[in-house]
């Protein structure tokens, strides 16, 4: 299973095609791991996205 996460130029976060709030992101990760412990997460950020937006804890 692969979890596709993307961040657009406006810093909106998407899991697949679903827009999600940063606070929900961890829940989405946990749900994916519960379904498949070997899940891979692929992150794609718009070229204009600042590193700080991607690396926030």
Range of the domain at 28: 2-54
pLDDT at 49: 85
Q: What is the pLDDT of residues 1-57, one digit of tens each?
A: 899 999 999 989 999 999 999 889 889 999 999 999 999 999 999 998 887 777 766
pLDDT at 30: 92
C-alpha span between 13 and 33 (Å, rounded):
19
pLDDT at 56: 66
Q: CB 15: neighbour CB atoms within 10 A?
A: 19
pLDDT at 51: 76
C-alpha span between 39 and 29 (Å, rounded):
9
pLDDT at 57: 62
DSSP per-residue letters across 4-41: EEEE-TT--EEETTEEE-HHHHHHHHHHHHHH-TT-EE
What is the domain count for the chain?
1
């Amino acid at each position: 299973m692969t979890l596709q996460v993307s961040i657009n130029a406006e810093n909106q976060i998407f899991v697949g095609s679903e827009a999600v709030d940063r606070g929900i992101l961890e829940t989405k990760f946990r749900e994916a791991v519960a379904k498949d412990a070997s899940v891979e997460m692929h992150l794609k950020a718009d070229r204009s996205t600042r590193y700080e937006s991607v690396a926030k804890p």
